[in-house]
Structure 1
Amino acid sequence: MSDTARHAADAEAPAEHVRPEIVIDLGVYADGRRLPDEPSLRDAIRAARDAGGFVWLGLANPTEAEVVEVAHELDLPELAVEDAVTAHQRPKLEVYGDQVFVVLRPVRYVDRREVVDVAEVALFLGPGFVVTVRHGHNDVMQRVRRELDAPSSELLAFGPAGVLYRAADLVVDDYESVVTDLDVDVDEIEDEVFGPDEEDHSQRIYRLKEEVASFRRAIAGLARPLELLTAGRVPQVTAGAAEYFRDVHDHVIRAQESIDVIDRQLTDVLEANTARVTMVQNRIGLQQNSDMRKISAWAAMALVPTLIAGIYGMNVRNLPGADSSAGFVVVLAVMVTACVGLYTAFRHNGWL
């Protein structure tokens, strides 16, 4: 086969090179139900057009070449394809002619590790098709798929917009669930900081603030796309479908406000923890100073008799009282007097 013929053959069936393991599902929906599965994307597109429905192709962690293969088949916008492959995009909505590209950031809270796990889903909506590209671990699109596959699913009445609506709705519902879980941990930290223990909780507070910041980035930018969807100014989204996005938009605003409240709470708790740790450290420092004064006082009292006994123990001649029996009593009296005087002075100054 010549190179020209080979290239023409490749162009005839680009979607056939997509690895089967990255295809979550390929379904055709029409007349309020899912039609029998087709063996390939091309056959599914043909069946959807013949039945007046739409095809939904779900991909998980595909390579750039594999997304490009699908893009050739459905004429997806090149810039949107790059964003779908690159991942780590902010939530957004972009319109390319009669096609729509949307990025959602599903989240879940891993309570055991106190981590907000952020994934990503890119959706392409066009005439008669939906393509979803998932990065990370989340089950949002699987839940949407189960609802669409259920008998008499109301979502199918809106076509591709029904997939987008339900995906956005579930993502935002998960936001509220994560907010609830974070509230529980913040309350727990507050109890610990203002409780009887004197441990430093700053490391845990900083870690939670980082997770809250990651959560905020996942939500940031989603309100504006939902406003456009609510206004009915997006292709593939009918006026009837647009009304459903209004409730999702309200929930996003509420989640953003809740995140701001949680972040302020953590900041206040961090300041309180810092003040408490500083107070404890100051108290410990004062106690150490008091202990050092006591040690120094007792050492000074021990030094006087030790010094005198050391001098008289040198067996040096002509020391006062060294050759008389009364000398011992005098020296001992001097030692006791010096120690009592030092003890009295230290007690008076608060060292003992």
Structure 2
Amino acid sequence: MPRRRRTPSPEKRLENVGSAPGQLQSLPGAVESRLDLIVYGSKSFDTLPDASTKTLKKALSGSETVWANFVGLKDVGFLTKIGDQLGLHQLALEDVVNSHQRAKHEDFELVQFVVARMPVSIKSLETEQLSLFLGRNFVFTVQEKPGDCFEKVRDRLREGRVRIRGGGPDYLAYALLDSLVDSYFPLLESIGIALDDLELAIMESPENEHVTRLHEIKRELVILRRYVEPLRDVIGRLLKEDNDLV
């Protein structure tokens, strides 16, 4: 069954006035784009930084798993070419570029698509959008700016850990999403410490400002819950989905 085209918001329609139908538009302030590849199998591992679409095509033609990580959303032409090579749906690419989506999972039959929020720092609630595509022999991740929570996954691949190197793209996708969930723990820990400090201060000498701070912490917890709970549901649906990729 063909997918129903979603009606864009009024803001998005205004942004795209004058552009060709289906043409991607980068948002103001978008970071310069680059593509980094990790190509691996149970007995092989190679990194290909700052790769081209030609390099990607060659990597995809082999039998190994390809992790393609696209950083920066300025060059939407580059992103479109990659999407064509990977067989990504135009609606999904629009969601990638319009990077204010809520966490979700969409099944495009040959490709699974996940959107999530990724913490930028353990010192604030600032997040960026992470888009993840899972295909037959690839995982394609897209992030708004450099820096992510996946270094431990890269280390496991580099070190030749048997489970991840032999697990294929579905296991890689799971490992990346698991790392994303883990990246919220330092934020939760810092909020827990703030609550402990506030409790101690109230016990020693209650002040009106403590009530204000308590409301601030409550707001932070609500925001975190808004990010984490949908992500948990997304991972659950992805693992339960009746498809040949997971």
TM-score (norm 1): 0.54
Aligned to 1:30, which of 33, 41, 44? 41
> How many angstroms apart in 2 are the aligned matches of 1:164 and 1:65?
25
User: Contact 1:118 / 1:215 at 8 angstroms: preserved in 2?
Assistant: no
RMSD, matched Cα:
2.6
Partners of 1:22 and 1:62 within 8 A in 2: yes
- Shift of the 72–24 alpha-carbon distance from structure 1 to 2, 3 Å rule, reads closer
Structure whose alpha-carbon radius of gyration is higher? 1
> Counterpart of 1:93 in 2: which secondary structure?
strand
How far 1:56 sits from its partner (Å)? 1.9
Deviation of 1:101 after TM superposition, in Å, equals 0.5
TM, length-normalised to structure 2: 0.75
Q: List alignment gaps of at least 5 residues for structure 1.
A: 1-19, 238-352
Report the CA distance between 1:191 and its aligned residue: 1.8
How far 1:190 moved relative to its partner?
1.7
Does the aligned pair in 2 maintain the 1:29–1:35 contact within 8 Å? yes
Secondary structure of the 1:58 match is: strand
1:173 counterpart residue number: 182
Distance 1:152 1:220, change over 3 A: closer
**Paired residues, number:** 213
Greater shift, 34-43 or 164-173, is seen at 34-43
Q: Which residue of 1 aligns with 2:88?
A: 76
Matched-pair contact (CA < 8 Å) for 1:25–1:59: yes
- In the TM superposition, residue 197 of structure 1 has moved relative to its aligned partner by 4.7
Contact between 2:149 and 2:179, CA under 8 Å: does it hold in 1?
yes
1:134 to 143, 165, 169: 143
Alignment partner, residue 122 of structure 2? 109
Partner of 2:127: 118
Structure-to-structure mapping, 1:1-352, within 5 angstroms? 22-23=33-34, 25-35=36-46, 37=48, 40-50=52-62, 52-63=63-74, 64-107=76-119, 108-110=121-123, 115-136=124-145, 138-231=147-240, 233-237=242-246
Structure 1 residue 134: deviation in Å? Answer: 0.8
1:338 paired residue number: none
Shift of 1:176: 2.8
Write the letter of the residue equivalent to 2:114: V
% same residue? 26
Higher helix share: 1
Deviates more, 1:38-47 or 1:84-93: 38-47
Shift of 1:36: 6.5
